């Protein structure tokens, strides 16, 4: 059996392959991506190869590539993988070897995570995108309100949202002429983000059609579309839990 540790980063992936006796079989660095990852494992048969990979922004892509070859990777939670997180001499090369050694020793599975389904990844992306859009819209609103306060003008969220009140605010004599274009810029950015927020919110609602359990969760007080989809995508396949029945 060949045990491969892959330390994946944005540009490059450092790998280390060990044999049954712990001997070094192959190590090196490839460009992160399908061709690079395939080059790492092409030397061995899928049923004779085990791969450990840390969680990160490119992990699920890497897992899909390996699965296409018949290799089921062990995805390790980097935060729980203390042998790497607590290493004083941390390097990509050392991390790759440590992953391979942990895989061979059977320790990698102790801090492994479930590879989410494509449906769960898609749902999480909708929830995360909505979160980021809302966060940016809120930051834009707060920046504009701060500018208003700098000249002694107080503005509520309600007045900010209403076009009629917005026009009244701009006509306030306390607001200097040089500030008005800045406030308009903030308003335009916020309106665009708010429109995107509404569009993404509609996508979140539509995405729940692929989850039969959604109507049941929606009956729980406080479980709106966003919370429901977040919970479902986190659970993914309930059958993976020992007591799911």
Residue with tokens 């494509």: 118
Same domain (yes/no): 103, 8:
yes
Q: How many domains, the chain?
A: 2
Same domain (yes/no): 106, 127:
no
The answer, yes or no, to whether residue 192 has pLDDT greater than 90, is yes
pLDDT tens by residue, 49-92: 999 998 888 999 999 999 999 999 999 987 777 655 566 666 78
CA distances from 80 to 8, 54, 84, 199 (A): 17, 10, 9, 37
pTM of the predicted protein model:
0.79
Judging by DSSP bridges, how do beta strands 24-31 and 12-18 pair with one another? Answer: antiparallel
Residue 101 belongs to domain with CATH number: 3.30.420.140
104 is a domain residue: yes
pLDDT tens by residue, 10-54: 999 999 999 998 899 999 999 999 999 999 998 898 889 999 998
244 is a domain residue: no
Residue 146 host element (H or E): helix 118-149
In this prediction, residue 244 carries a pLDDT of: 52
Dihedral sign for Cα 113, 116, 120, 124, please: positive
The answer, yes or no, to whether residue 245 has pLDDT greater than 60, is no
243 is a domain residue: no
Question: Which position has the higher pLDDT, 143 or 159?
Answer: 143
In this prediction, residue 121 carries a pLDDT of: 93
Same domain (yes/no): 83, 143:
no
SS3 at position 19: coil
Query: CA 37: distance to chain centroid?
Result: 21
193 lies in which domain range? 118-238
Same domain (yes/no): 100, 126:
no
Same domain (yes/no): 26, 88:
yes
The answer, yes or no, to whether residue 164 has pLDDT greater than 90, is no
Helices (H), ranges, 69-179: 82-85, 92-105, 118-149, 157-161, 163-170
**Ramachandran angles phi, psi of 118, nearest 5°:** -60, -35
């Amino acid at each position: 059996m060949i045990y491969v540790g892959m330390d994946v980063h944005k540009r490059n992936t450092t790998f280390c392959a060990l044999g049954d006796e712990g001997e070094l079989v192959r190590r090196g660095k490839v460009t992160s991506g399908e061709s690079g990852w395939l080059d790492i494992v092409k030397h061995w048969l899928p049923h004779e190869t085990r791969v450990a990979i840390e969680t990160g922004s490119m992990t699920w892509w890497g897992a899909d590539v390996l699965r296409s070859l018949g290799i089921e990777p062990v995805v390790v939670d980097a935060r729980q993988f203390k042998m790497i997180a607590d290493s004083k001499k941390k390097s990509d090369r050392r991390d790759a070897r440590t992953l391979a050694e942990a895989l061979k020793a059977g320790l990698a599975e102790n801090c492994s995570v479930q590879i989410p389904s494509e449906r769960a990844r898609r749902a999480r992306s909708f929830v995360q995108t909505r979160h980021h859009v809302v966060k940016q819209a809120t930051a834009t609103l707060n920046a504009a309100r701060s500018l208003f306060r700098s000249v002694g003008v107080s503005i509520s969220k309600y007045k900010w949202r209403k076009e009629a009140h917005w026009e009244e605010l701009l006509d306030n004599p306390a607001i200097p002429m040089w500030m008005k274009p800045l406030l308009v810029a903030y308003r335009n950015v916020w309106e665009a983000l708010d429109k995107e927020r509404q569009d993404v919110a509609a996508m979140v609602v539509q995405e729940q059609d692929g989850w039969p359990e959604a109507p049941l969760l929606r009956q729980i007080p406080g479980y709106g579309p966003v919370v429901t989809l977040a919970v479902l995508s986190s659970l993914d396949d309930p059958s993976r839990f020992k007591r799911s029945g």
